[in-house]
Amino acid sequence: MARMVKSAQFMQFDTGAQRSAAGGSPRLAVQHRRGNDGLRWNQRCPKTRLREWLALSETESTTVGKKRVTAEALATKQRDISVSEFFAKNRHLLGFDNPRKALLTTVKEAVDNSLDACEEAGIVPEIWVHIQLVGDNRFKVGVQDNGPGIVKKQIPLIFGKLLYGSKFHRLRMSRGQQGIGISAAGMYGKLSTGKPVKVVSKTAAKKPAHYYEIEIDTRKNVPEIHNGKGEGEDIPPGDKGLAYMQKNGIEWVAHYPALDGERSREIASGTRVTIELEARYQRGRGSVDEYLFQTAIANPHVTIHYLDPEGHQTDYLRASEQLPREPKEIKPHPYGVELGRLVTMLRDTKESTLAGFLTSSFSRVSGQVARRICETAKLSTRASTKRIGREEADRLYKAIQETKISAPSTDCIVPIGEELVNKGLHQVVPGEFYASATRPPAVYRGNPFQIEVGLAYGGAAALEKVTPEILSELLAQSDARTLKQFLVNTFDGLGNDAAEKIIKEAGFAARQSPSKLKKSEILELHGAMTNVNLADTQSMQVLRYANRVPLQFQPAACAITQAVARMNWRPYGLSQSRGGLPSGPVTLMVHMASVWVPFTSESKEAIASYPEIEKELRLALQAVGRKLGMYLRLRSKVRQEGERRSIFLRYLGEVAQAVSEINGFDRRKLYDRLLQVAKRKTVEADTQLDDRGRRRMDGEEDFGDNVLIVEQSPEDLLASSESNGQAGGSRQLELALDAPASSPAPRRKK
């Protein structure tokens, strides 16, 4: 069947080419092979590809083969391809390649939809993600939001029809794009377990909620409703409804988690989708846990309650109540439009004149600009759009490139913002220093985009947070052949060196198999993992985002990773081996916001390198690098001075004692004198700390804008020196160092 689908595609192209060759416009025919935006088929996002393929098969398959007998014969078979068959054979295109990824994709599509819905409705999102193991390799995924809810008649369409949505045909910054994801997830669930998608949606506290069990009629691509005689069920509001849901096993979170001393509020509106599917749950890289963790960083206005299949509850609480600004929809910029797209647009436009077409279809094209384009193209401004041929289109395309057109407006992009990047990172990643930089918007090929970078320094590595129980689960799940491989694959920011260090510390053989460890050995490994100081060997953790959605795969192919590795981090106080990621306890988040994010491949996991994007990435990384460098230099200076003083203080008492024993001078008096000298000698420690305190109070930061410093307690600062010498001296020292020691309280609870 797969072969058939493929051959059908090829046949269309072949016949198309032949047809157009016959018709004398081969150039145009080539454009048929491309998508609307001129990208090659295999470069395009799978959903777009599917959608276009479906559209083509509807509109053109009937025309194919009119001129050739062989084609006619083939055409009869082409009609039989259904969405479900295509999907079943091409599930990898939509992110369902393997059971593990299927789980991630399902959660991801549901959460992305929820976030988009909440934000569009102006509701600060709160999301519940419940994953439950219900049988062998079977999981029930429930995702609920507090969004606006969906009106009754739309529910079946949204969840039971592929390619139904609001986001595809607009050029606007949003998470999802095609409206295919959640219904595809439902279809995957149906294919793998036979269970329908369950949807509960409520639009207001006083209105009834709707409950549907839906599946897609895969032949016709229409929803099929199972419950309530094909009409769904209405659940009355209030306690009565709750009782009804309880009785019928309908899952719904009715209340927000109770705050201290308050009654928990009822969730007025929202949608919950529950899908049962065949999947595999695994922690580590590319997992659901990681996706939610990263989502929480880039969406500081979101609260996520996550219950994993093992019953651990993780809450990512929002760091900000402020919703991001609603992104504006824009028309395409002429520079970003390729010839093929231009031809399509010309064909589809409702405008009759060329000038009208140019001004109405593109942004930044005024009447004057349109006139200039037409002049350069040697076309009349009043030429009919219907009569623009291939050659004229070509001239028009060239004329557009030659005409000076101002850059597209950039208010269509909504960055997270430096302050919120810091907050988001601080909320989720433990650390002592946070810095961020948001670049001004820039344009690549007519598409506005914006780069922002956030950096957290000093956080503990992922493996320090692992408990022995989780570790043994991870070990059991892992298919790595050696322990080293296991460590490197499972934990982010853990390189080969660090893994070797841990294995050596635990006293294991180099090629120890991870699955054969005894209980005591696991404890030993856990001990080694928490004991080994990995600050030096830990490599930077890079979190990549496109329009606030984490990119979890293909890091090496991504322009972001490449830009981070290519930059020289040494001047900023990090060590880095040639061509690699820098090492150190650093978490970096890089966000690209754009109306159109250029992905390198159909899997939408890596951003393509355009010179403009590379440049913006470099500048943003340098900006946070400078802030980090300044912080690290200051920190090491303060620490050195502090250490110096503590060493002096330690000996002052002995010196004073010895001198007073020799010449009878008052010990106390001499000690005080020496202490004064010591303080003057190490005055740097005081000034810097005072400076820092003052700066912080005034809010004017020397590190540049938007830097967050988590005060370390003096003990941490002087970690290497066990004590600070004589009591009197150390008291004063502590006073000098003692800024309010707000420990970086991890607000994640497990």
Partner 1 sequence: MAKKKNTVRVSTSSESKRIPFAQLPPRDKKTMKSLVGLADGVVQTAERSRPPHLDIPSRSLSNVRFNQSRRIIEMGSGTNRRELFNLSQAKAYMQTLLVSSGCKQLIEQGKTTSLRGLYYMLKHTIEGTKEETFDEQSESDTIIEDSEVALDVLREELHLYAKSAGSIAGPITLVDSGDEIDCSRMGSGGYTIPSICEPEIVQFKQNEAKFILHVEKDTVWRRFNEDKFWISHKCILTHGGGQPPRGVRRLLHRLHHELKLPVYCLLDNDPWGYYIYSVIKQGSINLAYESKRMAIPEAKYLGLRSKDYERCGLSTSVQIKLNESDTKRAKQIAKYPWFEKKPAWQKEIQAMLSNGFKLEVESLISKDISYVTEEYVPARLKDRDFLD
- Residue 643 Cβ vs partner 1, minimum distance, rounded to whole Å: 8
What single letter denotes the amino acid at residue 484? K
Could you give the C-alpha distances from 139 to 108, 195, 213, 540, 639, in angstroms and in order?
15, 11, 17, 33, 51
Tokens of 628: 């980090």
CB atoms within 10 A of CB 492: 20
Q: What is the separation of C-alpha 658 from the centre of its chain, rounded to a whole number of angstroms?
A: 64
Query: For residues 75 and 670, which CB has a smaller minimum distance to partner 1 in the complex?
Result: 670
Binding-site residue total for partner 1 (CB under 8 A)? 32
Q: What are the φ/ψ torsions at residue 311 (nearest 5 degrees)?
A: 90, 10
678 binds partner 1 (CB under 8 A): yes
Whether residue 563 contacts residue 621, with contact meaning beta carbons closer than 8 Å, is answered with yes
Binding-site member from 54, 123, 242, 659 for partner 1 (CB under 8 A): 659
730 binds partner 1 (CB under 8 A): yes
Residues 621-650 that bind partner 1 (CB under 8 A): 644, 647-648, 650
Length of the chain in terms of residues written: 750
670 binds partner 1 (CB under 8 A): yes
- Residue 575 Cβ vs partner 1, minimum distance, rounded to whole Å: 24
- Residue 447 Cβ vs partner 1, minimum distance, rounded to whole Å: 57
Tokens of 534: 């990995």
- Residue 271 Cβ vs partner 1, minimum distance, rounded to whole Å: 58
674 binds partner 1 (CB under 8 A): yes
654 binds partner 1 (CB under 8 A): yes
- Residue 729 Cβ vs partner 1, minimum distance, rounded to whole Å: 9
Identify the CA nearest to 20 among candidates 8, 33, 38, 36: 33
Interaction pattern, residues 689-728, with partner 1; x per rule: CB under 8 A: ---------------------------------xxxxxx-
Interaction pattern, residues 445-474, with partner 1; x per rule: CB under 8 A: ------------------------------
Q: How many CA atoms lie within 13 A of 6 on its CB side?
A: 6
What single letter denotes the amino acid at residue 228? G
380 binds partner 1 (CB under 8 A): no
Query: CA-CA distance, 430 to 334, in Å (whole number)?
Result: 45
Query: For residues 202 and 639, which CB has a smaller minimum distance to partner 1 in the complex?
Result: 639
401-419 burial: b if 16+ Cβ within 10 Å, else e: eebebeebebebbbbbbbb
663 binds partner 1 (CB under 8 A): yes
Query: CA-CA distance, 581 to 501, in Å (whole number)?
Result: 19
673 binds partner 1 (CB under 8 A): yes
R_g of the chain, CA atoms, integer Å: 31
- Residue 678 Cβ vs partner 1, minimum distance, rounded to whole Å: 6
Query: For residues 530 and 726, which CB has a smaller minimum distance to partner 1 in the complex?
Result: 726
- Residue 295 Cβ vs partner 1, minimum distance, rounded to whole Å: 45
Identify the CA nearest to 200 among candidates 140, 159, 260: 159
Query: For residues 517 and 652, which CB has a smaller minimum distance to partner 1 in the complex?
Result: 652
Whether residue 628 contacts residue 572, with contact meaning beta carbons closer than 8 Å, is answered with yes
Coil, strand or helix at 412: coil
In sequence order, the 6+-apart residues with CB closer than 8 A to the CB of 568 are: 576
Query: CA-CA distance, 558 to 159, in Å (whole number)?
Result: 32
485 binds partner 1 (CB under 8 A): no
- Residue 743 Cβ vs partner 1, minimum distance, rounded to whole Å: 21
- Residue 644 Cβ vs partner 1, minimum distance, rounded to whole Å: 6
Query: For residues 295 and 646, which CB has a smaller minimum distance to partner 1 in the complex?
Result: 646
Binding-site member from 661, 690, 716, 738 for partner 1 (CB under 8 A): 661
- Residue 675 Cβ vs partner 1, minimum distance, rounded to whole Å: 10
Query: CA-CA distance, 137 to 139, in Å (whole number)?
Result: 7
Binding-site member from 62, 676, 742, 743 for partner 1 (CB under 8 A): 676
Region near partner 1 per CB under 8 A, out of 195-203, 588-596, 602-610, 667-675: 667-675
240 binds partner 1 (CB under 8 A): no
Identify the CA nearest to 107 among candidates 252, 249, 258, 294: 294
651 binds partner 1 (CB under 8 A): yes
Query: CA-CA distance, 449 to 446, in Å (whole number)?
Result: 9
658 binds partner 1 (CB under 8 A): yes
Binding-site member from 206, 516, 680, 749 for partner 1 (CB under 8 A): 680
Whether residue 541 contacts residue 584, with contact meaning beta carbons closer than 8 Å, is answered with no
Residues 399-418 that bind partner 1 (CB under 8 A): none
Binding-site member from 79, 169, 325, 681 for partner 1 (CB under 8 A): 681
Find the largest Cα–Cα distance for the chain. 120
Query: For residues 297 and 652, which CB has a smaller minimum distance to partner 1 in the complex?
Result: 652
Whether residue 114 contacts residue 622, with contact meaning beta carbons closer than 8 Å, is answered with no
Query: CA-CA distance, 89 to 4, in Å (whole number)?
Result: 11
Query: For residues 429 and 670, which CB has a smaller minimum distance to partner 1 in the complex?
Result: 670
Positions touching partner 1 (CB under 8 A) are: 644, 647-648, 650-655, 657-659, 661-663, 665, 670, 673-674, 676-678, 680-682, 722-727, 730
